[in-house]
Amino acid sequence: MQFEKTGMEDDPDLQFLLSGAGLVKVRSSSWKKTRFFKLQEDCKTMWHESKKTLRSKQTFSVEDIDSVRSGRQTEGLKKYTEEALDPRVFSILFKGRRKNLDLIANSEGEAKHWVSGLEKVIFNLSNLSQQSKTEHISWIYNCLRKADINCDNKMSPQELINFLHDINIEVDDEYVQMLIEKCDQSKCGSLEGEEIQHFYEILTQREEIDVIYGAYAKTEGMLSAANLLDFLQKEQKEQVDLSYAAQLIEKYEVDETAKAKQQMTKDGFLMYLHQPEGLIMNPAHKRVYQDMQQPLNHYFISSSHNTYLMEDQLKGPSSTEAYIRALMKSCRCVELDIWDGSDGEPVIYHGYTLTSKILFKDAIKAIKEYAFKVTSEYPVILSLENHCSVEQQKLMAHHMTSILGSALVTKPLGDHMPTELPSPEDLKRRFLIKGKRLNKLEASLSDQASAEEEESVTEEEDCRDDEEESEKNLSGKSKTLKLAKELSDIVIYCKSVKFQGFEHAQTHQAFYEMCSFKEGDAFKFAEKSAFEYIHHNVDKLSRIYPSAFRTDSSNYDPVPLWNAGCQIVALNFQTPGPEMDLNQGLFGQNGLCGYVLKPSYLRDKASEFDPITLTRGPWLKHKELHVMVISAQQLPKVSQKMASVVDPLVRVEIHGVPADETEKETRHIQNNGFNPMWNENFQFDLYVPELALVRFVVEDYDAVSNNDFIGQCTVPFTSLQNGHGNIHNMWKNGLQHFVHFTVHSFQLL
């Protein structure tokens, strides 16, 4: 059992999971049925009883679990169970779009066993996945056991062919025969015992690692600290000393005898390459490394559109879970479309459509609980699209002030009227409201103005911004609403105003007033008026949102808008694809905090930067990026059919200013997704490197149709680490999966 090394083999929670127990599955008020669940012996797979006779799969992987929540925290359990059951209920939430499992245990004690046990298993699997060599070996031996159909602990030629298919290699009979002859010491025509071990060693040999290790291993055939330092300085371009090299040997060497001599074996070297120090992304950028003391408008802010939706914008479900998922991905600006509820409580849904509804107060509770729980302590902006009557607006304000409490910003920071937006650091663990306001912010600091405001509450206020105007055109309806003073008063730093041109904004728009731009207008400005758009965004926030005609919740390319300095480029987080890959890549740096400091030329009022014309200036820092795509291991199959084996190729894409946009790709490797090797060199010329994102895409080549997507990894150019690097995890459909992918990159002036 893989948990022996962690000391968990006698853990009572783990033993309970391995024994299993009955749980009541909850789907509705009338569908509550008992099913048996248990953790299988591999400690990676959950088995569950199913009454469906045609059901082919009654298991799911623990690695597919996103989180486990105790108590009545999901919408289903809140709706379909009584409060008294709270100690006995829990939910299993999955990655991607798979539905939650809402469950009732037999007792409070059993519920604790389930939640604690699953959390321990998930945590240990996560730790084990970092030990890539162990993971790799375990996976291969599992495939070997699976291929041993007659369970005689031997591998016949046919079983070898089945095994190679299973690990994504297509071979002919001659190749199988060659492998058997090379390993079959007993000359019996099949492999067993040490012969299988020899077969494994041939299969997992990393030629590129052998070459680079052999070039530097000059001490008794191994790497001394001095040899390793030579590698780090020459290949990785690192400015480190001998003590750092010695620390790496102490940390990653797997052979105690070699470690005692301060030497590194090839296995230790491979282990080092698969750890953070050997990854393609600079480990320092995985922490918050940027200045977080500048005004909010100086940052790109990870932002979601129609955050409440799980799927499309016409009939998809709305859910508080969608807010939780976005916040857990470091989204720092979420959208709430609020409408009058039939029972007096405001609801959230996509107006004039068949999308389901959730209570506004439930969304605020979920946001409060998860905004700062895991990934980021920096502020969250609640972007309100208000369609409610005055009475329900008052209730909205009440819910936000009572639920968010002191975390809600309800007045300017400090004692005096500010002249610029506060910083993310100033606003840690705080909430900002974006919406309409009846008066100027200055009035909030003036008693006289406050008294005057009481008289203006009844004035008509057009609460539609550009986005609502767009939706009105689709629905054919128009409505002018009054704005409740209670709601107006909690809009402090993000007052929504209508955009009336750059010149008007420059003379009339205050620093705390912001405009929303629909996708088409924003792209027009970014292409035709980039210089003016950049200057507008130097001291004011801009929010961009997808066209109302994207009813399938598809996304636009965010890069041209970031190039124009737009901060809040809102995407449909529920829809995976290249656009969300780029968003994930940009915000994957700076500790995944959801804020990335814009380059200085997008923050300078005197800047002459234009991403289209690229006049000369400090932004022009010509760099050559050299990338050698070396190899990959354990690429997943696109199809799980026995005969399906991928023909992988790698495409390297540069996303940034138009002059830098380009892509190059390798040849495809025929019938080998297990350990394809390309060894192909590419060179890219970059002119504005601070805005460049490098996207590595792996696809399954198809001669007659579109290639099938296998996975991708996007890294900001400025976060690329020089030298021989690895990508451990690639993303597909918004989910992370384990892959070894090796490249060699370096940057030249």
Q: Return the minimum-mean-pLDDT range out of 6-15, 255-264, 277-286, 570-579.
A: 6-15
Pick 96 or 597 by higher pLDDT. 597
Q: pLDDT (tens digit, 9 = 90+) per residue, 414-464? A: 888 999 999 999 999 999 999 999 999 988 777 544 444 433 333 233 334
Q: Smallest Cα–Cα separation from 629: which of 656, 600, 606, 649?
A: 649
Here the tokens at position 147 are 């291929």
Please state which of the ranges 486-500, 529-543, 694-708 shows the lowest mean pLDDT.
694-708
Q: What pLDDT is attached to residue 367?
A: 97
Helices in 238-319 by DSSP H: which ranges?
A: 242-252, 256-260, 266-273
Specify the amino acid at residue 699: E
Residue that the structure tokens 């801009």 belong to? 542
Tell me which fold the domain 4-129 belongs to. Answer: PH-domain like (2.30.29)
Higher pLDDT, 570 or 353: 570
747 — pLDDT class (breaks 50, 70, 90): low
Average pLDDT rounded to a whole number, residues 333-353: 95
Confidence of residue 675 (pLDDT cuts 50, 70, 90): confident
Q: Which two tokens stand for residue 392?
A: 């329900």
**Cα distances (Å, whole numbers) of residue 502 to 279, 498, 507, 529:** 44, 12, 9, 10
Q: Write down how long the chain is.
A: 749
Q: Is 95 annotated as a binding residue?
A: no
**530-539 and 519-528 helices, crossing angle to 10°:** 110
Cβ-contact 305, 274 below 8 angstroms: no
Range(s) within the chain of domains with CATH label 1.10.238.10: 133-203, 207-273
Is residue 52 annotated as involved in ligand binding? yes
Q: What percent of the chain has pLDDT over 70?
A: 85
Q: Which residues are catalytic?
A: 305, 350
Mean of the pLDDT values across residues 23-44?
Answer: 90
State yes or no: 701 annotated in a binding site. yes
Judge whether 504 is annotated as a binding position: no
Is 731 a known ligand-binding residue? Answer: no
Q: What is the DSSP string of 178-207?
A: HHHHHH-TT-SSSEETHHHHHHHHHHT--H
Residue 415 C-alpha from the chain's centroid = 39
Assign a CATH topology to domain 207-273: Recoverin; domain 1 (1.10.238)
- Residue 165, pLDDT above cutoff 80: no
Token readout for 529 is 């008026």
* H or E stretch covering 398: helix 390-404
CA-based angle 395:400:405, to the nearest 5? Answer: 130
315 appears as a binding residue in the annotation: no
Minimum mean pLDDT among 187-191, 520-524, 657-661, 666-670: which range?
187-191
Contact 268, 252 (CB under 8 A): yes
Higher pLDDT, 134 or 118: 118
- State the Cα–Cα distance between residues 538 and 283, nearest whole angstrom: 30
Question: Which amino acid belongs to residue 220?
Answer: E
Q: How much is the average pLDDT of 64-69?
A: 88
How much is the pLDDT for 658?
97
pLDDT above 90: residue 89: yes
pLDDT band of 208, cuts 50, 70, 90: confident
Tell me if 671 is assigned to a ligand binding site: yes
Neighbouring residues of 562: CB distance < 8 A, sequence distance ≥ 6: 300, 569, 586, 691
**How far apart (Å, rounded) are the C-alpha atoms in residues 192 and 606?**
73
Ligand-binding annotation for 27, yes or no, is yes
Both tokens of 673, joined, read 């997704």
Structure tokens at 30: 């009338």
Strands (E), 609-748: 623-633, 648-655, 662-665, 677-686, 693-700, 708-716, 723-732, 735-748
Q: What is the pLDDT of residue 138?
A: 54
The domain 296-439+455-602 having CATH identifier 3.20.20.190: the answer here is: yes
Identity of the amino acid at 663: E
Helix (H, G, I), strand (E, B) or coil at 699: strand
* 675 labelled binding-site residue: no
pLDDT at 185: 85
Q: Would you place residue 237 in the very low, low, confident or very high pLDDT band (cuts 50, 70, 90)?
A: confident
Tokens of 599: 């380059």
Q: How far apart are CA 697 and CA 274, in angstroms?
A: 19
Is 678 annotated for ligand binding?
no
Q: What is the pLDDT of residue 738?
A: 46
The β-bridge partners of 616 are none
The CB density around residue 114, as the number of other CB atoms within 10 Å, is 23
Residue 222 in this model has a pLDDT that exceeds 50? yes
Amino acid 169: pLDDT: 65
Q: What is the pLDDT of residue 11?
A: 87
Strand partners, 252: none
Q: Which residues pair with 513 in a beta bridge?
A: 495
Q: Is the pLDDT of residue 734 over 80?
A: no
Confirm whether residue 26 is marked as ligand binding. Answer: yes
Provide the pLDDT for residue 48: 87
The answer to whether residues 340 and 387 touch, using CB atoms and an 8 Å cutoff, is yes
Chain centroid offset of residue 362 CA = 24
259 is annotated as contributing to ligand binding: no
Q: Is 619 annotated as a binding residue?
A: no
Binding site annotation covers 562? no
Q: What CATH class is the domain 623-748?
A: mainly beta
Lowest mean pLDDT among 365-374, 447-456, 568-577: 447-456
The answer to the question of whether 681 is labelled as a binding residue is no
pLDDT at 152 over 80: no
- The pLDDT of residue 227 is 96
Tokens describing residue 365: 């509770």
Q: What is the pLDDT of residue 471?
A: 45
- Which DSSP string do the residues of 453-476 spell out, in sequence order? HHHHTTSB-----HHHHHHHHHHT
Side-chain-side CA neighbours of residue 191 (13 Å): 27
**How much is the average pLDDT of 56-82?**
86
Tokens standing for residue 419: 């002249």
Pick from 279-288, 328-337, 489-498, 606-615: least confident: 279-288
Q: Please state, rounded to an integer, the average pLDDT across all residues of the chain.
A: 85
pLDDT band at 267 (very low <50, low <70, confident <90, very high): confident
H helices then E strands: how many in the chain?
23, 31
- Tell me the C-alpha distance between 680 and 683, whole Å: 10
CB-side neighbour CA atoms (13 Å) of 383: 31
Confidence of residue 6 (pLDDT cuts 50, 70, 90): very low
Residue 153 annotated in ligand binding: no
The model's confidence at residue 139, banded by pLDDT at 50, 70 and 90, is low
306 is in an annotated binding site: yes
Q: What is the mean pLDDT of residues 264-289?
A: 84
Report whether pLDDT(126) > 80.
no
For 133-203, the fitting CATH number among 1.10.3720.10, 1.10.238.10, 1.10.10.10, 2.40.50.140 is 1.10.238.10
Residues of the chain with CATH 2.60.40.150: 623-748
What one-letter code names the amino acid at 635?
L
DSSP3 helix / strand / coil % (the chain, rounded to 5): 35, 25, 40
DSSP string, 515-568: EEEEHHHHHHHHHHSHHHHHHHHHHS-EEEE--TT-TT------HHHHHTT-SE
**Token pair 């031996």: residue:** 141
Pairing between β-strand 59-61 and β-strand 45-48 as defined by DSSP bridges = antiparallel
Residue-level pLDDT at 459: 29
pLDDT band, very low/low/confident/very high, at 749 (cuts 50, 70, 90): very low
User: What does the block give as tokens for 14?
Assistant: 């783990």
Q: Say if residue 250's pLDDT is above 60.
A: yes
Q: Is residue 40 marked as binding?
A: yes
Mean pLDDT across 499-524: 96
Q: Is 51 annotated as a binding residue?
A: yes
When computed from its CA atoms, the radius of gyration of the chain, rounded to whole angstroms, is: 29
Stretch(es) of the chain classified as CATH 2.30.29.30? 4-129
* pLDDT value of residue 730: 64
**What is the predicted pLDDT for the residue at 689?**
95
Q: Does 399 belong to an annotated binding site? A: no
pTM across the whole model: 0.82
